[in-house]
A and B are shown apart, each in its own frame.
Chain A
Amino acid sequence: MADVTLRNVRKQFGTFVALEKLDIDIRSGEFVALLGPSGCGKSTTLRMLAGLEFPTSGEISIGGRVVNDVAPGKRDIAMVFQSYALYPHMTVGENIEYPLKKRGVKATERKAAVLRAAEMLQLEPLLDRKPKQLSGGQQQRVALGRALVRDPQVFLLDEPLSNLDAKLRSYMRAELIELHRRLGKTMVYVTHDQLEAMTMASRIAVMFDGRLQQFDTPAAVYNRPANRFVASFIGTPSMNQLEGAVDGSTFRVAGHAIPIDRSRFVHALGSGTFVLGVRPEFVTIGGGDLPARIRLVENTGHEQIVTLELTDGTRLLARTDAARRLDVGQSVQIGFHPDALHLFAPEETGRRLNKDDAASVIPMRSR
């Protein structure tokens, strides 16, 4: 077991800056998800941890040892690739055996270890097949098996579930959580699927545009997003963000004033444009004085996602229970749960301006 640290890491491809000043501390035994949209540098980060890519500057250490100049094979890590990267000319058994072979493990021990890994992942009947003769889920398990067989310090997983169908994906998600609990190893898990990150990780590193946006527990990332990007990226449907101006203890939007509690935000709120954030579940229809019109109602069976339009054309989403009767075109009065309001600086990754304390976390059910 080992902790993993990225200190001031920067990565450039030619003149293109893929990662800018990355600082991440992963504790031993932790399950960390690297989450972000496509092209934000997740794979690059993981590949640098694996030693397949060299940081332009900065320091990477694993288990307290700086590994910048250590070859991938000597870092005591195992990696599962997004493409699985199974060796096509080797059988499943040979694939799983390969890392042991390369480390000079004796043949008899190798056999035993392969069988152990195969058993754990229910691969025994497939050991003599070639990767091509396997389904996606089976291939995925072989890739995991090849990583597991060696008992490494750190597991690196690059979107291992992205090629699977929804059902298999949720099954494998549970399997991975279980596996992590059993092995207790440090795992770094790259994904662009927030559901995976939220359900599996003990902490999530949200990345965007080559920068770390926030690194915190799933609950904190959801309830106290560090900035506008995190707020909109985490949660489906994503948080409503309304541009407006702070005026005394109200927030002006679409010609209306929404009362806000100034004491919950940082003192230095000047005048000018700000962004008010509120999650759809904290928008109450018929519980306030902001006039709006219903534009769309999407009923998923257990809830309804309602698209609302304010008088100035601004759209926002509300989430209500499925039983409620709402008609498109209907005029309603809406309100926001006062404790669930976030205030952000207006730029794309504008900082959140709430004074942060655990109390600002509102349980989902209290809406």
Chain B
Amino acid sequence: MQSPLRTLILNLVTWTLVLLIAFPLLWMIITSVKPQTELFRIPPTWFPETITFEHYWRLLSETPFLTYFRNSVVLASTTTLFVVCLGTLGAYSLVRFRYRGRETLAMLVLFTYLLPSVVLIIPLYLMMVAIGLSNTLVSLILAHTTFALPYALWLLRSFMEGIPEDLESAALVDGASRMGAFRDIILPQLLPGIISTALFTFILSWNEYLYALVLVNSDSVAPLTTGVMSMLISTFNIEWSLLMAASVMMSLPLIIVFAFLQSYLTSGFGAGGVKG
């Protein structure tokens, strides 16, 4: 039973939450298009009197923002590619093959999550130095892969378990090789799982800060998170307008990626879809 009061309260709570979450984002966008002069006015202007894109322009032309951006794109995409490939094959193995220690192995990969990243980061850094990868994008890709992969493995495993083994058996009888059956039958069925995993990995890698801070320290290989921070936030001054403009541009790819893949996720693709 829905009493009007209950509805009212639920609505109130929901909208409060929405506002709480949306306000900083809104403020970020507003600030990014305000001229410097309007920035610290009290009381603040809700809608800027003049809209300017000078901060965006300065960011793109006078700072290494584009380099950071490119680094982030390369970093997040490569990590995603690695994680999805390894995760898919690993999940397939965990679900389809019977071998000793299979369950233990699956549990063990989650062990990484029991330790705070700061505990892992120093050994990881030393390892990267030892194999001559310190201060490279590759070291970050590897680091991000190590912390995204376990979760991806579990996610993909549960999707994989939803694919009936008979489908694969049928493909084998129909003349496909194991790899052929994997490509023709498993992969298309796994697509929703792969997309969710890719989404999760991409976002994780795109937003990651701590590893990037420790493993990489030159502008040419820094991703957006650390690059923008070190560029615009110094001990004496925070370049608010530039920071907000940068933040807007950093969020944009995620919003685009999400909006694009969201439709895939919910389109009830194959067996993983929600439709029965």
B164 and A50 within 8 A (CB): no
Known: A87-B185, A88-B189, A89-B270. A52 touches B169 (CB 8 A): yes
Question: Taking each of A73, A99, A146, which has the highest tally of chain B beta carbons within 10 Å of its own beta carbon?
Answer: A73
Residue A9 interfacial (CB < 8 Å): no
Query: For window 146-167 of chain B, which residues contact chain A by CB distance below 8 Å?
Result: 164, 166-167
Known: A87-B185, A88-B271, A89-B189. A102 touches B176 (CB 8 A): yes
A89 and B172 within 8 A (CB): no
A83 and B172 within 8 A (CB): no
Binding-face segment, A74-82, A261-269, A271-279, A309-317:
A74-82
**Chain B contacts of A82 at CB under 8 A?**
166
**Chain A contacts of B175 at CB under 8 A?**
73-74, 99, 102-103
| Cross-interface CB contact of A81 among B170, B176, B189, B270, cutoff 8 Å | B170
| Cross-interface CB contact of B176 among A47, A73, A132, A146, cutoff 8 Å | A73
Question: Taking each of A74, A77, A99, A103, which has the highest tally of chain B beta carbons within 10 Å of its own beta carbon?
Answer: A99
A72 and B172 within 8 A (CB): yes
Bound state CA distance, A77 and B172, in angstroms? 11
A83 and B173 within 8 A (CB): no
Query: For window 97-154 of chain A, which residues contact chain B by CB distance below 8 Å?
Result: 98-99, 102-103, 132, 146
B173 and A77 within 8 A (CB): yes
| Cross-interface CB contact of B173 among A50, A87, A88, cutoff 8 Å | A50
Bound state CA distance, A223 and B14, in angstroms? 74
Bound state CA distance, A146 and B184, in angstroms? 16
Bound state CA distance, A78 and B172, in angstroms? 10
**Chain B contacts of A47 at CB under 8 A?**
169
Bound state CA distance, A237 and B43, in angstroms? 91
Complex: chain A residue closest to B170, CB-CB:
A85
Question: Taking each of B170, B176, B180, B188, which has the highest tally of chain A beta carbons within 10 Å of its own beta carbon?
Answer: B170
**Chain A contacts of B269 at CB under 8 A?**
89
A102 and B180 within 8 A (CB): yes
Bound state CA distance, A52 and B174, in angstroms? 12
Q: Range of interface residues on chain B?
A: 20 to 34
**Chain A contacts of B275 at CB under 8 A?**
132
A85 and B177 within 8 A (CB): no
| Cross-interface CB contact of A88 among B171, B176, B270, cutoff 8 Å | B270
**Chain B contacts of A50 at CB under 8 A?**
169, 173
B172 and A71 within 8 A (CB): yes
Bound state CA distance, A73 and B178, in angstroms? 10
**Chain B contacts of A83 at CB under 8 A?**
164, 166
Bound state CA distance, A247 and B62, in angstroms? 112
A85 and B172 within 8 A (CB): no
B171 and A98 within 8 A (CB): yes
Complex: chain B residue closest to A76, CB-CB:
B175
Known: A88-B189, A88-B270, A89-B188. A146 touches B172 (CB 8 A): no
A52 and B270 within 8 A (CB): no
**Chain B contacts of A103 at CB under 8 A?**
175
Bound state CA distance, A102 and B176, in angstroms? 6
Bound state CA distance, A299 and B132, in angstroms? 87
Query: For window 209-249 of chain B, which residues contact chain A by CB distance below 8 Å?
Result: none
A102 and B174 within 8 A (CB): yes
**Chain A contacts of B167 at CB under 8 A?**
85, 87-88
Question: Taking each of A71, A74, A103, which has the highest tally of chain B beta carbons within 10 Å of its own beta carbon?
Answer: A71
Bound state CA distance, A50 and B177, in angstroms? 14
B164 and A73 within 8 A (CB): no
A72 and B164 within 8 A (CB): no
Query: For window 164-210 of chain B, which residues contact chain A by CB distance below 8 Å?
Result: 164, 166-167, 169-177, 180, 184-185, 188-189
Bound state CA distance, A99 and B170, in angstroms? 9
| Cross-interface CB contact of A73 among B174, B185, B270, cutoff 8 Å | B174
B169 and A85 within 8 A (CB): yes
Complex: chain A residue closest to B276, CB-CB:
A132
A81 and B169 within 8 A (CB): yes
Over the window 193-208 of chain A, the binary record of Cβ atoms lying under 8 Å from chain B Cβ atoms (1 yes, 0 no) is 0000000000000000
A85 and B271 within 8 A (CB): no
Known: A83-B166, A85-B166, A85-B167. A52 touches B189 (CB 8 A): no
**Chain A contacts of B184 at CB under 8 A?**
87, 98
A99 and B270 within 8 A (CB): no
**Chain A contacts of B188 at CB under 8 A?**
89
**Chain A contacts of B166 at CB under 8 A?**
81-83, 85
Nearest Cβ in chain B — how far from A203, in angstroms?
Answer: 24
Known: A81-B166, A83-B166, A87-B167. A72 touches B270 (CB 8 A): no
Bound state CA distance, A83 and B171, in angstroms? 14
**Chain B contacts of A73 at CB under 8 A?**
172-177
Bound state CA distance, A102 and B183, in angstroms? 12
B174 and A98 within 8 A (CB): yes
**Chain A contacts of B164 at CB under 8 A?**
83, 85
**Chain B contacts of A88 at CB under 8 A?**
167, 189, 270-271
Complex: chain A residue closest to B174, CB-CB:
A99
Given A82-B166, A146-B174, 5 extra CB contacts under 8 A: A52-B172, A72-B169, A79-B169, A85-B169, A88-B270
| Partner-A contacts on B (CB < 8 A) | 164, 166-167, 169-177, 180, 184-185, 188-189, 269-271, 275
24 A-B pairs with C-beta separation under 8 A: A50-B169, A51-B172, A52-B173, A71-B172, A71-B177, A73-B172, A73-B173, A73-B174, A73-B175, A73-B177, A78-B173, A81-B166, A82-B166, A83-B166, A88-B167, A88-B270, A88-B271, A89-B269, A98-B171, A99-B173, A99-B174, A99-B175, A102-B175, A103-B175
| Partner-B contacts on A (CB < 8 A) | 47, 50-52, 71-74, 77-79, 81-83, 85, 87-89, 98-99, 102-103, 132, 146
Shortest 4 CB-CB contacts between residues of A and residues of B? A102-B175, A73-B175, A99-B174, A85-B170
